[in-house]
Amino acid sequence: MKRTWLLGLGFFSISLTWALYNAFVPLFLDDYLTKVSMIGFMMTLDNYLALFIQPWIGHRSDRTRTRYGRRMPYLLIGMPLGAVFVTLIPWYTSLFTLVLFMVLMNLSMSLFRSPTVALMPDITPERQRTKANGIINLMGGLGSVLAFGVGSELYGIGSYVPFVGAGAVMLLSMFVLKLVIQEPEALQQPGNAEKKPAVRVKEQLNRTTILILLAIFFWFVAYQGVEALFTLYGTKHLGMSDKAASSSLTFFSLAFLAFALPSGWLGAKYGKKRMILAGVIGLLLVFGAIIFVQSALVLRILLIVGGIFWACININSYPWVVSTGREESIGTRTGLYYLVSSLAAIISPPLLGLLMDLLGYQMLFIAASSGLVLAFICLLAVREDYVQPHAAKSSASSL
């Protein structure tokens, strides 16, 4: 658990950086772009890069064998580059330099995100991975909260200050991870690459994995659409102020953060599939009820409950994806997880937005509920809380 908390520093720095990026870069783009749609497109660059680069990097890290480990080289290269380019962003002098720094930062972050995530199952026994995922998601959530709370104060001092702070935190995290995280020797020795067949992406796409990935896609379509369009729903459909609508969604996020650790413990005790099913059913009922809600108080109570159910889904899903394959495929499966979640993030807001334009704002939660129904159907088709026999023996046991 101590190593997991320290590994959480990597997620803390990633979440801190992205939260600052999402909060303040649109303001920089607004200096040059007059259309909100163009600003929105520029802010989805990370999802497009995640769609292609992160799966490839995750797969490559499975096949990497160096004296530094198989994941750590990507952190040692990507994190310093990410720290440099996130620091440079507020020093833009034109639209060209701003977009250049944005692209370079996104590329740098794509180099180490999948390997950083894959480190958790690398060093954690399978039976403990939902607990560990709860810890690192808690750390990531704290990074986002800190970015919005402290970052806004630092931004008042100077637009560059929070970005310099994010770069410093990322470098500090890299040094801590290098010092305290020791990858399993059985997976990092150069000679070991010849002892086991190379991981092939096609071989990982068995029936169970495909169904789980489809479920992940559908519930992320539901979640990403609500996250992106809820403020419009609150202001246009419920008549809330901008501040009241945006602050209402905070209740969902805080409930998720508070229940991150308990959902991991429950997943370890009762099974990942069982907890995810409970989360999908619960969130479906919450989203279905919101369709008929007009009271801000009732809405926020439902969002708190929804955040708890979302924790049951999100905390247990990544460990479940990993558990259905070989230990040597963790990076590949991490990349597949980000592939489907990024695809959902790209597709969902414009798709749900189009439905809202055509059929009214109430379609936001109707469509989101439909996504959860499809996810539930995919989960039912998975016959059991499946774990490969060889995946149950974590490589962490060699530590």
For residue range 135-150, what is the model confidence (pLDDT) as tens digits? 888 888 888 778 767 7
User: Higher model confidence: residue 73 or residue 202?
Assistant: 73
385 pLDDT higher than 70: no
Give the highest mean pLDDT range of 1-15, 33-47, 84-98, 195-209: 84-98
pLDDT of 232 above 90: no
What whole-number distance in Å separates Cα of residue 18 and Cα of residue 113? Answer: 12
pLDDT tens for 14-27 read 888 888 887 788 88
pLDDT band at 197 (very low <50, low <70, confident <90, very high): low
Percent of the chain with pLDDT over 90: 29
How far is residue 252 from each of residues 57, 95, 232, 336, 368, measured CA to CA in Å? 32, 35, 16, 26, 15
What count of other Cβ atoms lies within 10 Å of the Cβ of residue 71? Answer: 29
The answer to whether residues 286 and 302 touch, using CB atoms and an 8 Å cutoff, is yes
pLDDT, mean of residues 28-47? 76
User: What is the DSSP secondary structure assignment for residue 385, as one 8-state letter?
Assistant: -
Which pLDDT value is given to residue 284? 97
Residue 230 tokens read as 């809820």
Rank 16-25, 44-53, 293-302 by mean pLDDT and report only the highest.
Answer: 293-302
| pLDDT band, very low/low/confident/very high, at 189 (cuts 50, 70, 90) | low
Predicted confidence at residue 120, as pLDDT, reads 82
Average pLDDT over residues 249-264: 88
- Checking if the pLDDT of 98 tops 60, the result is yes
Residues, the chain: 399
Q: Closest by alpha carbon to 396, among 119, 66, 70, 67?
A: 119
Domains of the chain with bracketed CATH: 2-195 (1.20.1250.20), 202-398 (1.20.1250.20)
What does the pLDDT read at residue 225?
85
